[in-house]
């Protein structure tokens, strides 16, 4: 754009909000984790060799016909219900037609005027506990496009030396959730944007209908932003920032677009209705393609598919299967576990709510479960550059380790070693302790007593202090005893023996 008015400098966030109110809207695409694609039996999988998870249907070869994946419809209904939507009794797919090489048929099979779910809402809790209701216009089913990689410096199809296309993603089932315009968020707009997308992510994860990894594009957000002068009610022209793929980026993109719009409008310019690209490096957006409401996709009902009919009984059956809503669950767990708000937030941020919940269910106290997951397991995961949940540590492992500690058979330090052996695949904690002879040295054979006696003999000054009542000095004997027993002594037991030797009441 050469028009200076569209290049006006963004206002500061505060200045922008003094003069304008934001109107927001979000389109969140959720990739469903069905085994097969939306309309074909090709596998729905991530990370495989390009163009291996394809068959004639998702390649759109001549003569092929789509067949709806029933599981995807079930997932879409569940998601609609979790978003407090109405579920259509009958709905159809339509062809959205445009020529682009990532869409092998040159139309995307989507839902147009008959979405499977509509008229819902989500209550979004902001950081300070304020609840903001976001209304959901619709949630509809569609298929994903292939993935284009453009060679050359342009990074886009225009000016590329050549472009490669991977149709593994072509036909993966998507649900697109569209909000109604969100008015009144004011300065909380960016925070609301992040919290909304986070809430949607938690819901689809809780429903186990998506892998919900934003970094893999399982959950993708298009953020619509417009600004209207304070005191007015007519929406301004909007921009649509596409494919913002992290919670932080959603927040920053909305912030930047609010400031950019305000800058242009304050300078007397007009907003171009267009798509924008999020630039992670500069935390700005750049101009994409112009988009008008009159973009003509020549929608018409997909004649190769029959309408989808949902019976009330089936919908109610699915409703009964819905898990507790994530927001309710968090409130319940916070109260049940007795963590501080900060501790709880850290657990949520680390993505370990499920793991701790399951560990507690396996019989470990919440604080011990938190200590393991937020401590040693997170440390080991970090060292391997993995998410803690990806280490493969089962709640039952933590429960077993904790049991061995409580029984006094191993100490904390040994337990951490055992955990590493579990991760290395050597077996259960019990098996590893036995196989490696890691059990705390008991005194059955007198070995521990002998080690204590040796330490006392070598440290007469310490013994003297203890005898004089400075019980803390026992700590100075524990090191040598541990050394003698290769770490397998129980510190409590050592203390007992020392005190007994000196005839002191513990």
Residues 322 and 78: their CA atoms lie apart, in Å, by 7
Task: Report 55-74 residues binding other proteins (CB under 8 A).
Answer: 56, 59-68
Contact with other proteins (CB under 8 A): which of 7, 48, 130, 304? 304
429-456 in b/e burial notation, b at 16+ Cβ within 10 A?
beebbeeeebbbbebeeeebeebbeebb
Tally the C-alpha atoms within 13 A of residue 74's C-alpha that lie toward its C-beta.
14
Asked if residue 17 lies in contact with residue 179, where contact means CB atoms within 8 angstroms, the answer is: no
Task: Report 466-505 residues binding other proteins (CB under 8 A).
Answer: none
Contact letters for other proteins, residues 260-299 (x by CB under 8 A): ----------------------------------x-x-xx
Q: Which is nearer to other proteins, 73 or 438 (CB)?
A: 73
Three-class secondary structure of residue 294 per DSSP: coil
What minimum distance in Å lies between the beta carbon of 119 and other proteins?
Answer: 25
Task: Report 103-122 residues binding other proteins (CB under 8 A).
Answer: 104-107
Q: Which is nearer to other proteins, 99 or 342 (CB)?
A: 99
Backbone φ and ψ of 398, nearest 5°: -60, -45
H/E segment holding residue 229: strand 219-229
Three-class secondary structure of residue 72 per DSSP: helix
Contact with other proteins (CB under 8 A): which of 2, 153, 158, 342? 158
303 scored as a contact of other proteins (CB under 8 A): yes
305 scored as a contact of other proteins (CB under 8 A): yes
What is the separation of C-alpha 131 from the centre of its chain, rounded to a whole number of angstroms? 21
What minimum distance in Å lies between the beta carbon of 143 and other proteins?
Answer: 14
Q: Which is nearer to other proteins, 307 or 375 (CB)?
A: 307
Q: Which is nearer to other proteins, 164 or 362 (CB)?
A: 164
Asked if residue 498 lies in contact with residue 457, where contact means CB atoms within 8 angstroms, the answer is: no
Contact with other proteins (CB under 8 A): which of 95, 138, 201, 330? 95
Q: Which of 240, 263, 205 is nearest to 19 (CA)?
A: 263
CA distances from 503 to 467, 480, 490 (A): 9, 21, 20
153 scored as a contact of other proteins (CB under 8 A): no
What minimum distance in Å lies between the beta carbon of 24 and other proteins?
Answer: 27
Interacting residues with other proteins (CB under 8 A):
56, 59-68, 95, 97, 99, 101, 104-107, 157-158, 163, 294, 296, 298-300, 303-306
């Amino acid at each position: 754009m050469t028009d200076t008015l569209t290049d006006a400098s963004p206002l500061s966030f505060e200045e922008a909000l003094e003069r304008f109110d934001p109107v927001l809207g979000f389109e969140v695409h959720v990739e469903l984790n069905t085994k097969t694609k939306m309309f074909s039996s090709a596998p729905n999988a991530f990370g495989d060799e390009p163009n291996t998870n394809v068959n004639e249907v998702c390649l759109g070869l001549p003569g092929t016909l789509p067949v709806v994946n029933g599981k995807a419809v079930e997932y879409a209904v569940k998601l609609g219900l979790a978003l407090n939507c109405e579920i259509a009794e009958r709905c159809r797919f339509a062809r959205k037609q445009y020529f682009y090489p990532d869409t092998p048929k040159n139309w995307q099979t989507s839902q147009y005027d008959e979405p499977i779910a509509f008229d819902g809402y989500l209550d979004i809790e902001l950081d300070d506990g304020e609840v903001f209701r976001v209304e959901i216009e619709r949630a509809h089913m569609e298929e994903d496009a292939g993935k284009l990689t453009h060679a050359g410096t342009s990074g886009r199809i225009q000016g590329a030396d050549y472009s490669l296309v991977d149709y593994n993603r072509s036909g993966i089932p998507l649900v697109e959730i569209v909000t109604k315009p969100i008015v009144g968020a004011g300065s909380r707009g960016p925070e609301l944007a992040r919290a909304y997308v986070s809430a949607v992510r938690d819901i689809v994860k809780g429903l186990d209908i998506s892998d919900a990894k934003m970094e893999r594009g399982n959950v993708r957000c298009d953020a619509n932003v417009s600004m209207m002068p304070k005191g007015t009610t007519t929406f301004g022209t909007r921009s649509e920032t596409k494919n913002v793929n992290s919670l932080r980026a959603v927040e920053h993109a909305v912030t930047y677009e609010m400031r950019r719009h305000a800058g242009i409008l304050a300078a007397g310019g007009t907003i171009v209705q267009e798509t924008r690209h999020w630039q992670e490096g500069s935390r700005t957006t750049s101009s994409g393609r112009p988009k008008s409401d009159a973009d003509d996709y020549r929608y018409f009902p997909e004649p190769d598919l029959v309408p989808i009919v949902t019976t009330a009984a089936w919908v109610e059956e699915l409703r009964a299967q819905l898990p507790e809503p994530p927001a309710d669950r968090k409130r319940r767990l916070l109260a049940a576990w007795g963590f501080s708000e900060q501790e709880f937030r850290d657990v949520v941020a680390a993505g370990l709510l499920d793991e701790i919940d399951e560990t507690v269910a396996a019989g470990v106290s919440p604080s011990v479960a938190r200590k393991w997951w937020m401590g040693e397991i997170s440390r080991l995961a970090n060292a391997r550059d993995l998410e803690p949940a990806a280490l493969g540590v089962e709640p039952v492992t933590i429960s077993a380790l904790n049991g061995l500690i409580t029984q006094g058979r191993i100490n904390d330090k040994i337990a951490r070693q055992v955990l590493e052996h579990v991760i290395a695949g050597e077996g259960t904690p019990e098996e590893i302790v036995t196989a490696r002879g890691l059990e705390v040295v008991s005194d059955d054979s007198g070995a521990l007593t002998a080690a204590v006696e040796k330490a006392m003999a070598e440290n007469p000054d310490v013994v003297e202090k203890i005898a004089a009542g400075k019980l803390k000095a026992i700590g100075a004997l524990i090191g040598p005893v541990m050394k003698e027993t290769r770490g397998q002594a129980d510190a409590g037991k050592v203390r007992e023996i020392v005190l007994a030797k000196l005839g002191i009441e513990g």
